[in-house]
Amino acid sequence: MQGSGEPSDPFKAQLDQALKEGYAWLRFSPSLEAAYQRDKAPERRRTLERGGLWLVVMFNLLLVTDWMMVPDQMGLAIGLRVFFFTGINIVGLLLSDYFTPRWREWSVVGMSVLAATINVVLCLNSTDHLAPPYLIALVMVLLFNGSIVRTPFWKALLIDALVIGMFFGSLFLLEAPQWNVMLSLSLILVSTAFFTLYSSYVLEHEDRTNWLMQGQEHQLVQALNRANHQLERLSRSDALTGLANRRHFDEFLAQLWQRARQSGRAIALLMMDVDHFKAYNDRYGHPQGDTCLRQLGAVLRRQLRRPGDLVARFGGEEFVAVLHDAPLPEAMAAAERVRLGVQELALPHEDAPGSRQVTLSVGVSSCAPQRVASPEALIAAADAALYQAKSQGRNRVVATVPEAPLEALP
């Protein structure tokens, strides 16, 4: 909803309260009413602009009625309808951009009263015997507001009250009206006012109800989207370290691989494993082991932070990083930064031979996708390099180049 802005609990509570308590007086709380009016303003403006065009046509068509019932006032009728009223209406349409929604609604009240006044003036100035029944033309004002422009109930009530007041006031100014005819016309006028007001009330109440229900649906959809987004994020994240998980890594590498096949740029893979981590868990316990992995994850985030790269927990004490547009020397330098970053943590590991602290072994591989059959080949090469790093004494970086299939060799 445009008026509601970002979904919030207080706004939702107001929606729920309005639906629960009702709004028989067709008013919400101030903030909710303001949101409703903002949301409805564009649609309401279009309705009023179309209504203004219809008003020009319909009001001038009443010249036919003027000619038939108050022919002695045709000159005045043309002046008031064609030049005065139509001119004001057209100017209002041209300047509608400068009107606030509130003033547009009040302009409807003003134009309605002005239209009724013109009909009354023509009636009272005419000496034709059909002049008194001519007052029935006031019904057109009520019908126009109730159907064409769908004036809000309270303003429609004000217009109808003024028009009916003008009708009965005119009865006392007419000379020898036929009271049986005029009373019948008054019944028609009052009945029309009652039915159009009833219709205005029901339509506005339904419109407000629909707006509240749409607001609730909007809130629920956004809450569901946030929950789904959160679930999606959790499904792609490792709960312990906050890094990407294996699923996210697989999807990311597959997408990056497809893009790199078109661009020809190299993709590098860093396969990292915590040295002697089983011994660390056995000595310090699994909770401390989890803390260690979280700290190492933080080091990886600090050292590998280029936009477009991905760091993930591959499984257990093993991590992996995907670097886009990274030739082997650049990937080797990034791997060495990570290794040194872990070493600088100086986490004690009494069961680690030689170093007596937590260290990391890294296997690195880099290739252009056109020369390697699949992402799995790149992973296998990085894994083989990691195996070599372990075999050569751990706490080191080793690199290999994936083997190209025969058809890719020059």
Domain boundaries, the chain: 9-221, 246-404
pLDDT-derived band at 14 (thresholds 50, 70, 90) equals confident
Residue 209 CA to residue 205 CA, distance in Å, equals 6
For 329-359, the pLDDT digits (tens) are: 999 999 999 999 999 999 999 998 888 999 9
User: Which residue in 317, 318, 330, 350 is the catalytic one?
Assistant: 317
Range in 42-46, 150-154, 235-239, 353-357 the model is least confident about: 235-239
6 is catalytic: no
For 185-218, the pLDDT digits (tens) are: 999 999 999 999 999 999 999 999 999 999 888 8
Mean pLDDT in residue range 246-274:
90
pLDDT above 60 for 405: no
- Tell the CATH topology of 246-404: Alpha-Beta Plaits (3.30.70)
Percent pLDDT > 70 in the chain is 94
Mean pLDDT in residue range 155-169:
96
Mean pLDDT in residue range 62-90:
94
What does the pLDDT read at residue 154? 96
What does the pLDDT read at residue 1? 58
For residues 13 and 126, the model is more confident at 126
